[in-house]
Amino acid sequence: MSANPNIVTQFTPVPREADDAGRWRLVRVRDLVLPMSIGIYEQEKLAPQRVCINVELKVREGEGPIGDDIANVLSYEHIVNGIKAIIADGHINLVETLADRIADLCLADPRVARARIAVDKLDIVPEAASVGVEIERSR
């Protein structure tokens, strides 16, 4: 039986992507529940609604040791305070808009390579625990 030249018979490993090389850390904010003015319907504009926000960031680690120093890591406090500032800016119509703004906030730090953001409204559909959106952005 002759070998078919169209069939690959040897495994060729896929080279690692340049941005996957190095040391990475995942920074997370889980289940941050905040009241805010969000929604397209008039009744949603009358009173704040609870939203649940989850953030997962792929962050490049520095070359040196952390040294138990906050200056050497991405602070989740910065992310939480930034989210609160976005919400304090005023009414947002769409959960997608809120998620995009949070992703922009996170990606403003050059160490962040990827941001995964989930925004859920907790009280809008009585039969559901939540409704929302999850996005992923990278540089």
Domains of the chain: 22-138 (3.30.1130.10)
Mean pLDDT by 10 residues, the chain (139 residues): 44 45 90 98 96 97 79 90 98 98 97 97 96 97
What is the pTM assigned to this prediction? 0.82
- Note the pLDDT of residue 48: 97
- What pLDDT is attached to residue 71? 80
| pLDDT score of 21 | 64
Confidence at residue 20, expressed as pLDDT on a 0 to 100 scale: 56
pLDDT at 115: 98
- Picking from 92, 98, 102, 116, the residue whose alpha carbon sits closest to that of residue 39 is 92
CB 29 within 8 A of CB 79: yes
Q: Strand pairing of 112-121 and 24-36?
A: unpaired
